[in-house]
Chains A and B, each alone.
Chain A
Amino acid sequence: MSAKTETISVANHRTKVIHGFIYAFLILLAIIYLLPLAWVVITSLKDDAVLMISPWELPARPMFENYSFAWTMGHLGTATLNSFIVCSITLLFSMIFGAMAAFAIARMRWKLSKLVLTYFMIGMMIPVHCVLIPLFVQFSSLKLSNTLIGIIIPYITFSLPITIYIMAGFFEGIPDELFESACIDGCSVYRMFTTVGIPLAKTGFMVTGLMSFVGNWNELLLAMVFISKEAKKTLPVSLTKFVGPYHTNYCQMFAAIVIAVIPTIIVYCVFANQIVEGLTAGAVKG
């Protein structure tokens, strides 16, 4: 009896030690993740001269001028506004179009639905890069380059596959009975979509909306190619101006970085769980 309790306590002790190691490792890693981000914020409040001498200390007097400089002279104010316009319009249309297509694929009965779904899913595997040049040529001749609408259209298209995939899953999960009773009450198929489908797939809209917002907010390559006018640039494009080893003011660059990442950090803190759900739902497709 006593021998048995002894082995158990030894085993317990061992698990405790192992858990201690695991937590130490996880905390160390968390520091590696958070330290650079915290450091950006601290540095963005410093002066370049101070930064060169003591890069790791807290600033004696926070310099909020860096922010106002980046916001006005660095054109980040306009860029933030542009990003917001682009992302919101993209969000709205990709959700409407995506939900409509997903409803037809998941709920309506027709022979080609599987094929059409596959067609949309191919979009997930195609990198933007290979359609970039033909699109650019096409949009230039349509006078769509250097306009926000010119990047909104491709953004909507590239947000569609994941939206359709996730929304189709949500529509499939709605019990048949609900649609049947709506049908008996004399609903048309369009009213079924708006009054039964959409309200019951609210979570799906959350998830896809967040995914498309975060993705488009960070998109650089397409925006950089399509937009060269200062007044139309989105945030990531404006940031590239700060690139260069001999750029004169690092602290302003850091203020710009903070401005660029703050919105996504806020969105992430509020909706972390939905984003995670969307990511996994999108990838489990196999």
Chain B
Amino acid sequence: MDKLLRNKKAIIMFIAPAFILFTLVLLIPICKAVYYSFCNYKTLHPIKFTGVDNYVKLFTKDRAMRAALKNSIFFMVFSIITQFIMGLFLAALLTNIRAGRNLFKNIYYLPCVLSSAALGLLWMFIFTPKLGINQMMASFGWIADCTEGPQWLFNTEGFIILPIIVISFVALWQYVGQSMMLYMAQISGISSDIYEAAAIDGCTKSQAFFKITLPLIRPMIATAMSLNAIGSLKFFDLVYNMIPEGFLGDKAHVLATHMYTQAFKFNKLGYGCAIGVVLLVMCLVVTLLINKFVKVESYT
């Protein structure tokens, strides 16, 4: 048995396909991306090594990049906070009821499996000035005429522009089910003995939540938060489909759309890679920070 399982040839046979694919499609391209990000590389032009030029330009001269960074960080903070609160709240409610728990759970999770490209189109329509929400508000008499209502997706005033806020709420609608599901899985894993013992000691339900549930699901909070953070930094589909390209100029970019435009519309591949590397570094840093500060200790 032991000899059989130490068969080197078999191990290599089993690992090889996945390992080779991984190295060719993930590891080598990442190294290349880092290299390209230090080069002046445009489609059909030779690659020229220029050092940190791309990064200097990215952080000092590029106004779109500033907007993209601002919007992406807003998305990240917003989704970390709101998904944590809403997800945990829903999970707490759903674990407390008996009838219909699965039904509600499945309904709230449904948008997560749907194409965000398609849902983006749907919400784009709902927030179109003359139709959708504004028409509904007009029919309730909240606003005199639909054209006078808020320009949900076209208003470019303010530090964080309205379209970005609208999109972040749509994203919350779509993805809160995922956080909820993760918290629920963890909460249902807590032994009911603990709650019973606490109840005997005179612990109220809200006390039980803050003193027992919350500390015990702390590892999952870290996991869910880092998933949210990475997911919202990568954000592309909703923004791309809800804000028509170039319609709001540079203000409505996020990192992913900025990278896409630079690399595949303006053919600045090296510059695009620099944005990609910034994105990667941000993902890693945020994950590390969350794991350091949230996941302090595990009780299990």
Contact = CB atoms under 8 A, between A and B. Distances in A.
A98 B4 CA distance: 21
B234 to A, nearest CB: 5
Interface in A1-48: 19, 22-23, 25-26, 29-30, 32-34, 36-37, 40
Residue of B14, B32, B241 with highest tally of chain A CB at under 10 A: B14
Interface in A233-264: 235-236, 239-240, 242-245, 250, 253-254, 256-257, 260-261, 264
Interface in A83-139: 96-98, 100-101, 103-105, 107-110, 116, 119-120, 123, 125-138
Interface in A194-243: 214, 217-218, 220-221, 225, 235-236, 239-240, 242-243
A147 interface: no
Given A22-B93, A23-B97, A157-B22, A104 B14 contact: yes
A240 B114 contact: no
B131 A97 contact: no
Interface in A55-98: 55-56, 96-98
Contacts of B33: 130-131, 133-134
B197 interface: no
A154 B185 CA distance: 31
B230 interface: yes
Interface residues of B, number: 97
B238 to A, nearest CB: 10
Nearest to B177: A33
A265 B106 CA distance: 11
A97 B118 CA distance: 31
A131 B29 contact: yes
B276 interface: yes
Interface string B177-210: 0100110011000000000000000000000000
Interface string B6-23: 111011011101110110
A175 interface: no
Given A36-B126, A264-B114, A131 B224 contact: no
A149 interface: no
A257 B121 contact: yes
Interface in A257-277: 257, 260-261, 264-265, 267-268, 272, 275-276
Contacts of A128: 234
A156 interface: yes
B121 A253 contact: yes
A130 B7 CA distance: 37
A220 B237 contact: yes
B233 to A, nearest CB: 7
A101 B115 contact: no
B113 A26 contact: no
Nearest to B114: A261
Contacts of B230: 125, 127
A280 B29 contact: no
Nearest to A276: B181
Contacts of A40: 122
B192 to A, nearest CB: 18
B51 interface: no
Contact of B128 (A30, A193, A245, A257): A245
A279 interface: yes
A160 interface: yes
A122 to B, nearest CB: 8
A103 B4 CA distance: 13
Interface in B55-105: 90, 93-94, 96-97, 100, 104-105
Given A137-B269, A261-B115, A243 B244 contact: yes
Given A100-B17, A109-B5, A126 B234 contact: no
A130 B30 contact: yes
A101 B236 contact: no
A127 B6 contact: no
Given A108-B11, A130-B277, A164 B5 contact: no
Given A36-B123, A283-B227, 16 more contacts: A26-B97, A26-B104, A96-B17, A104-B15, A108-B6, A108-B14, A110-B11, A119-B19, A119-B22, A125-B230, A236-B118, A239-B117, A243-B241, A245-B128, A268-B106, A285-B223
27 contacts: A22-B96, A97-B18, A98-B18, A101-B15, A109-B5, A109-B6, A110-B11, A126-B280, A129-B236, A129-B279, A130-B30, A130-B33, A130-B276, A132-B276, A134-B30, A154-B25, A160-B21, A193-B14, A217-B115, A218-B113, A239-B115, A239-B241, A243-B244, A280-B181, A280-B185, A284-B186, A284-B223
Complex A-B, nearest 6 residue pairs according to Cβ-Cβ distance, in ascending order: A130-B276, A104-B14, A134-B32, A101-B18, A131-B29, A134-B29
